A and B are shown apart, each in its own frame.
Chain A
């Protein structure tokens, strides 16, 4: 009889562990797929994949976060204006969903800022006025929740880079920020497995273009 209960309990646990394993496997699969993206369709598939995981695991913020992240990237990659807006609309829903359960997660605020940046990119004349303050506010909040997160600094640097000098932008102001972000990237350790790690390589590229101009 004891064995029977023991086995049942073991079985129960194995199922539970299985669920946790499923989640970890799914995250592993999604993130490794993300590194091997070939085409726009692959982006769509990954966004869809993480969305499915986010629906199955309503208490985890990472799947919604990654699905939103890929949707923002899709908005940058596609050409059609309506499609871009549609991807951003999807991203917003997912970000808000992630934010609901994890309001204090710096990475989610960072992503929301990136979402506003993408919106500004659609029509800078109109959306610039509406959203540049909002993007800045998100990065501000992201740093408040985690001062060591390099991504808000890196994304802000990109904004500064693309802002004309007259409005307080330009390379001269952006490069020290890329430098700061790059420094922070080298020390950055994600809190837990699967936490966001992107941005370091792109930041280095920007930094390189900074040093190139400096040499000229």
Chain B
């Protein structure tokens, strides 16, 4: 083949002309919104090229393309869904484009029955760490702060929260999805416990009082999910000095990893010196605790979070002999919680969530000549996958493994007697759930969870469903229902390993209004309980004739109003719950309202920021109606009610600086008026000569208490 230079030249010229003298192909049109109003400032361009323009005053655009090939026209404009269309430059008529309003998450329906969520930046914050610390009657304890929300109450003598008539162990606590099997510090009989973890470890709190998703199992009543931050924000050293102890922590941040270490020593001697109390301490509670956290980014989207917490505590107390069969109790606790989670995007459609948690708790109690060793070790592992293939459907699936090892040792040095008991159980579960958004206003969630126990060789399937309908921009209705199973407590299982799961059904109806930093929320619920553990108090063993013959119900109304808007620098909320519940369980001869339930609970919380003195003041009032108790002098079981309890608490946080370092001075006073709170009555074991059992009221060991703390951040 012989190509002459002339031919090549002409080819080249054609090519060059083709490039340079190409005709201009025009694409023009205008951009409107759904109502037909022209949109000014929209970005209109041909995908993958530099050709584009911004719409003018009348919403019009005009593009010049040098090619008449088919192209993709893109319109992007803030507040609207991005728009794409195929065009033939020069051949199409003027294009009329209608943009759809972007569905703001705030305006879109969210399944919310049973759930309080906080920390999500796009939604109204219901509760965060600072809220917990500054809620007057919380004393900086997460569970106490939660008791100022509807559906919950705090059992004064144990310090634990009760959710909608469920026993305190029916609430599960998770940290980043990993189960914490001993969420409270161990406490002496009839003295309140606190949550083991400081609220400042967390940047989000999800609290569900019922109807929760299939992701969660082994909790009959409630789920508390605490979320830790990713990479810590700052490199900082903090010092805390309180009348309950002192601590030091250091956090270090790098762009792709971070760690924090913390040590705390607690001694309640100064606290009891300031408090009004009737406790006869032999050794005031003392504890050491250490905390370590590590964060690392893996690849583009992966993150490994590791948290480890160890604590040791000890205390010893003399109990009044007119109320208790024992006089001296000493308690030593050792607890280790360690968890690691790894979450990553596998692709833009799949998210992987995995984790392992280990929790070992030992309570050693010495009561007179008796020594008890109670050891619970749990291992929890989870593997979950979330799929986001379609914009309107989210699928969640996964499986969990839960191992429990419980060992109980009883020794009586006087009678030279020793018993050793234990159980070992393995639970396997799997869940699958789909969130379906049918329209912008209507969403549904269907799921199920299978749970298998190797100890009892039982397998149960728990279906869950919920629906939500958004009435307008600010309000929505939701309903939720589901079946929930929970393994019997280790203290029962060690006597009878064949106990079945306890079972609850939830039915919840919810209405919520949120607008302009104001929230109104109401829930009506009904729950049925079945297969609850029953027993008779044994002569030799603690529990005899253990079986799943119990049942019961709980129903009620919760009301909640929070207003962050009306009064300047002021946040207040009102929470009211009414509950009607009865159970035949434990050793109850008939169905009765359990002794930890009070029918009416009202809490008012008021917080105000005073700029002039850079301080926040918080006050709270709470009322709980009388709790049932059993009077052995009466023939009817649980037929009497204690009187109602009132509490007024306050706290004050002053923000300042010491040597230029950010400092908070915090003073919190519980039970300002020093009112006596009666929780129940304790009766003598045997009647006296006229045949009556003598009673002593079980009152709070402390009345007015004061916590003072100084927190300094050095960075």
A51 and B76 within 8 A (CB): yes
How far does the Cβ of B541 sit from chain A's closest Cβ, in whole Å?
53
Which A residues lie within 8 Å of B614 (CB)?
164, 166-167
Which B residues lie within 8 Å of A130 (CB)?
121
From A22, A86, A100, A129, contact of B130 by CB (8 A): A129
Expressed in whole angstroms, the Cα–Cα distance for A133 and B253 within the complex equals: 12
B233 and A44 within 8 A (CB): no
Q: Which 9 A-B pairs have the closest CB atoms?
A: A133-B233, A48-B43, A141-B255, A86-B78, A137-B233, A52-B52, A44-B41, A52-B45, A166-B614
Say what secondary structure dominates the interface of chain B: loop
Expressed in whole angstroms, the Cα–Cα distance for A167 and B660 within the complex equals: 9
In the complex with contacts A48-B43, A130-B121, A55-B48 CB distance below 8 A = yes
How far does the Cβ of B17 sit from chain A's closest Cβ, in whole Å?
13
Expressed in whole angstroms, the Cα–Cα distance for A86 and B104 within the complex equals: 10
In the complex with contacts A56-B49, A134-B233, A144-B78 CB distance below 8 A = no
In the complex with contacts A3-B5, A136-B233, A51-B255 CB distance below 8 A = no
A selection of 10 A-B contacts at a CB cut-off of 8 Å is A48-B43, A48-B54, A52-B45, A52-B50, A86-B78, A87-B78, A109-B255, A140-B235, A167-B614, A168-B661
Q: What range describes how many residues of B lie at the interface?
A: 35 or more
A48 and B52 within 8 A (CB): yes
**For the complex, is A4 an interface residue (Cβ under 8 Å from B)?**
yes
A44 and B8 within 8 A (CB): no
Q: What range describes how many residues of A lie at the interface?
A: 35 or more
Expressed in whole angstroms, the Cα–Cα distance for A45 and B42 within the complex equals: 9
**For the complex, is B300 an interface residue (Cβ under 8 Å from A)?**
yes
**For the complex, is A37 an interface residue (Cβ under 8 Å from B)?**
no
**For the complex, is A145 an interface residue (Cβ under 8 Å from B)?**
yes
- Interface residues, chain B, CB within 8 Å of chain A? 1, 3, 5, 8, 12, 15, 40-41, 43, 45, 47-52, 54, 74, 76, 78-79, 121, 125, 128, 130, 231-235, 253-255, 300, 569, 609, 614, 655-657, 660-662
**For the complex, is A41 an interface residue (Cβ under 8 Å from B)?**
yes
Which A residues lie within 8 Å of B657 (CB)?
165-168
A7 and B8 within 8 A (CB): yes
How far does the Cβ of B615 sit from chain A's closest Cβ, in whole Å?
10
A7 and B12 within 8 A (CB): yes
Q: Mark A8-44, 1 if CB is under 8 A from B, else 0.
A: 0001000000000010001000000000000001001
Give the residue name and chain of the B residue nearest to A173 (CB). Answer: B660
Given contacts A51-B43, A53-B50, A167-B614, 18 further A-B contacts (CB under 8 A): A4-B3, A26-B50, A41-B54, A48-B54, A52-B50, A52-B52, A55-B45, A55-B48, A56-B48, A87-B78, A125-B609, A129-B130, A137-B234, A137-B253, A140-B235, A144-B254, A166-B656, A168-B660
Expressed in whole angstroms, the Cα–Cα distance for A126 and B124 within the complex equals: 10
From A4, A53, A86, A140, contact of B79 by CB (8 A): A86
Q: Mark A150-193, 1 if CB is under 8 A from B, else 0.
A: 00000000000000111110000100000000000000000000
Which B residues lie within 8 Å of A126 (CB)?
125
Give the residue name and chain of the A residue nearest to B235 (CB). Answer: A140
How far does the Cβ of A157 sit from chain B's closest Cβ, in whole Å?
16
Expressed in whole angstroms, the Cα–Cα distance for A87 and B79 within the complex equals: 9
